[in-house]
Structure 1
Amino acid sequence: MMSEKQRILVVDDEERIRRLLKMYLEKEGFHIEEAEDGEIAVQKALEEDYELILLDVMLPGIDGVEVCERIRQHKSTPIIMLTAKGEEANRVQGFEVGADDYVVKPFSPREVIYRVKAILRRSSTTAYLSKETMTNNSIVFEHLVIEHDAHRVTVDGVEISLTPKEYELLHFLSSAPDKVYSREDLLRDVWNYEFFGDLRTVDTHVKRLREKLNRISPEAANMITTVWGVGYKLEVPK
């Protein structure tokens, strides 16, 4: 029996772009639904369950940044933003409200497929866990517990809501405490970028992650340490 196709919502006001993405993604075995403006996108995203949303920044009515923000208030569905060159401010805003990735227009359909598959490749998040760092597939620190099977993070006993990429970043850093990773390392291993990607993507996600941890526990937030001139690590208090 064939497994059910993974569903992706494509949001763009240009029909030719929706049609192009639909054609290429359907060839890869995905089921595609479309929305041509922000209001329809929010309605569909909240009423239906999608594996991923491809979301254009510049939309009539409410823009992609606001769409992302509204969705994030209720759901953690992975979101890839589609941005035109020169829309850097929108891209940063997108990350700040919880987007997981972005693709710059004009884009190669092959790059979009690569991004989509990278985000959906959930099984890869277990590859960097060693037996020494796992207890019943959980990573346990004094102020922070990550239950990987359930994708659950608790901070001083309080469960917090993270986007898929925030979770992957925290899980990756936590799996090798005190190891320093450069931004390039993190783009490669967490975002699956090989040759492209904005280093500020990492900085923005680290900032959001710290803010969420800090609301419950400054001690947990302070575990994510900046190593100036190098990158980041998760530091275990001695």
Structure 2
Amino acid sequence: MHDARRQEEPMNMNTHPNSGAAERTEPTVPARSIVRATETQALSPRALEDRRLIHRNDSTRLHADAFRDLRTRLLALGGDRNFVTLVAPVVPGCGASFVARNLAAAFAFDETKTSTLIDCDALRPAQQAALGVDAAQGGLMDYLDGRIDEMAPVQYRTVLPRMDLVPTGGVREITGESFSSLRMRSLVDSLRSTHGNRYLVLDGPPVLKSPDARILSDLADLVVLVAGYARVTTEQIEKAAANFAPEKLAGVVFNDIQ
């Protein structure tokens, strides 16, 4: 483990000993798209920092470089494909939504790539407010509940170019059956397949508090655990990691939220 030095700064991603990924190193877009046409007004660097979003200015260089490094490591593991990454905290309060949001931003930094962030933490939705999205048309849970028939209305442009958000659409108590449904898989597969350069990031619920993160991992190619600095024990990290297939577990991000 590494000591964390900056507020909510992701540190080196350590591979879990049982993941089997420790030795890996870096290594025609279809015309149709389901992306919403409306753009969200771009924010100033100061406004982006207020929302805890990385950008290209020097003021957040350390944060931006840390997320670029995380993106590079995942690209090395994911190979020559656009993949789905689940970001899940070991327990509540580890800052996983911050990590998921800025990982999606890091993918969107690359002008050859786009990203879609899906807020899957239905009890603690955070991304809609953080990204300043007015989800008037509803969100993920509304689509999974059948209240919305099409996927397009629940995908929103964000304040960052080439980055979209599927918000939760409201707090829900029971989500496991929804996440294992055919509609959820169809949404993920469709978002992934309509653009060969689109990378999906699932902002998941705490691993040790519900089975939802494990259920969501069935939809993901890679899993990143987020451990809050001084908030979780090694035993908790190992217990959380055991919920996922070793070949999917990319590693652990230690996040300082003090």
Q: TM-score, normalised on structure 1?
A: 0.31
Greater C-alpha radius of gyration: 1
More helix by share: 1
Which structure carries more relative contact order (alpha carbon 8 Å, separation 6+)?
Answer: 2
More strand by share: 1
